[in-house]
Chains A and B, each alone.
Chain A
Amino acid sequence: MSTVVLLTLTGLGLAALYFLVASGLALVFGLADVLNFAHGLFLSVGAYGTWWASGNLPGAGASGWGFVLAVIFGVVCGTVVAALVELVLIRPLYSRTIEQVLVTVGLSLAGVALLQASWGADPRTYPRPQWTQELTEVAGARVPNDRFLLIGAAVIVLAGLLAFLKFTRIGLVIRAGVEDRSMVTALGIDVRRAFTLVFAIGGAAAALAGALGGVYAGSISPTGGSSLLIFGFIVVVIGGMGSVVGAAYAAVAVGLLQQFVNYTSPGLGDICVVALLAIVLLIRPQGITGKVATS
């Protein structure tokens, strides 16, 4: 029983990371039709930004509010980079899919090289506040607190995104744009203005995933973003290519499946995730929810 609880909470913790990566990918793809392979870069920027800030930024540190400040710094870096990527590189290439793929793939490779050049290819030890390493007993299982941190962060981001989409004017435009972009423009709305914002929001969520993923893993490396990005893409496809809620369901399914299978047969978890992807694509090619931002 305690093993099941631990696996469930660890699976949900992973799901939280996947969701943070996938929510931005889903919105960017849903609204702007951009397959953003550079999304992993935003994650790495968040992780390295937090790591750098905890050692160098005045007031920031590896514990308590100092760590919160470091995370905020990392997230701000990720957000700014995402917005700049949209403005400078993606904006000239809308509706040119091949070029977009080339540019975003190239950018993610360049990002990895840049991080390696700056801080080396080897993993860096990541600041972990003491509290995250302590254990909390849940139904007989002793669960590291970082799981709760991940889950809490993802739930807050999910709730915030849904409220933003539901209750703001720009959220209304984004929901409509995800469903049918040309109709929105025919109503006199310049949807492209919303693209930068959606990139920035996605970049912020990915950067948060990077910052908190470092806490979970204990170290960060320049290539860490790409492996999380793969699962992010799988979650987006399973969830419905544009749906935030679909991404949340899919992230939970993928995280739990991976944890439980890896526990019973180590190494098989990733294969099962790919099998799940194949099954969903066969049965429901539109994903769990279809291309709808909030359902």
Chain B
Amino acid sequence: MLRIEGLSAWHGEAQVLRDVDLFVERGEVVTLCGRNGAGKTTLLRCVMGLHGNQTGAVHLDGDDITARKVHQRARRGLGWVPDDRGAYATLTVAEHLTLPPVVGPAPWSLEQVHEAFPALYTRRASPATKLSGGEQQMLALARVLRMGATVLLCDEPTEGLSPLLVQQVGEILRRAKALGVTVLLVEQNIHFATTVADRHYLLAEGRIVGHFDNTDIHSREADLLAHLGI
């Protein structure tokens, strides 16, 4: 499981995360929501080790990984699905799926990936940046599943996708969860969040200000929407 303790982070002088504590149990899907600029992306980058200026601790399966380098964290099972989708112009779709090493006990085979994401098979020889936004998102997810990552850090995977594609992302996440994968999901779409996640953290100005499960999220919707500024 993933546990974050007392995490603070800065961009230059500005503090963007303040003493954040959160945890995600093994096999759980937990969302992190909050309005633009709340610090969600920074939080995921801190977990991945990509953000330099931070204090606090990150534990993975009981081990403190705070001092670990980025590639070592990935090797321990963290799968990063960035908000910009991380597609390479000089690599074909097929090369994206062979680039990362296998890091977990249950990596998806190429056949499984192609069966779940048929578009990635038809477009396997295209440069990845020529894919549509939705296809690039699928590729980013397929890549970490192919690695066998056990903890996915997904940064707004549904942003800008059509409702049909949003449903597909939901299916993939539910399928991963069924296989025991843990997911920390940054998500602005509350409705989508309740269809895939077990619990939800609300982040505002770098602080965790709310913690809901799927039953009280509806009763406290007004509170939540106010925080999200919708």
Contacts and interface: CB of A to CB of B under 8 A. Distances in A.
Interface size class of B (residues with CB under 8 A): 20 to 34
Nearest to A193: B71
Contacts of B100: 187-189
Contacts of A179: 88-91
A56 B86 CA distance: 53
Interface stretch (A137-145, A151-159, A169-177, A250-258): A169-177
A65 to B, nearest CB: 39
Nearest to B144: A187
Interface residues of A, number: 21
B69 interface: yes
Given A172-B99, A173-B99, A187 B90 contact: no
Interface in B72-113: 74-75, 80, 82, 86, 88-91, 95, 98-101, 103
Interface in A258-295: 292-295
A176 B99 contact: yes
6 contacts: A172-B91, A175-B88, A186-B82, A186-B86, A187-B101, A188-B100
Contacts of A183: 80, 82, 86, 88
A245 to B, nearest CB: 11
A190 B71 contact: yes
Contacts of A184: 99
A180 interface: yes
Interface of A: 172-173, 175-176, 178-180, 182-191, 292-295
B17 to A, nearest CB: 19
B70 A182 contact: yes
B90 A175 contact: yes
Given A183-B88, A186-B74, A189-B74, 14 more contacts: A172-B91, A172-B95, A172-B98, A175-B88, A175-B90, A176-B88, A179-B89, A183-B80, A186-B82, A187-B74, A187-B99, A188-B75, A292-B90, A295-B89
B103 A188 contact: yes
B177 interface: no
Interface in B42-82: 48, 50, 69-71, 74-75, 80, 82
Nearest to A189: B71
Contact of A188 (B71, B82, B88, B98): B71
B91 A186 contact: no
A176 B99 CA distance: 9
Contacts of A295: 89-90
B89 A292 contact: yes
Contacts of A294: 90
A142 B124 CA distance: 50
A294 B143 CA distance: 22
B90 A185 contact: no
Nearest 8 interchain pairs by C-beta: A188-B74, A187-B100, A185-B70, A186-B80, A183-B86, A185-B71, A188-B75, A175-B90
B147 interface: yes
Contacts of A186: 48, 50, 70-71, 74, 80, 82, 86
A175 B48 CA distance: 22
Given A173-B99, A176-B99, A185 B91 contact: no
Nearest to A190: B71
Given A176-B90, A292-B89, A292-B90, A189 B101 contact: yes
Nearest to B102: A188
A164 to B, nearest CB: 14
A68 to B, nearest CB: 34
A176 B70 contact: no
- Most chain A beta carbons < 10 A, residue from B69, B70, B88, B90: B90
A180 B69 contact: no
A293 B90 contact: yes
- Most chain A beta carbons < 10 A, residue from B71, B98, B103: B71
Interface in B162-187: none
Nearest to A243: B90
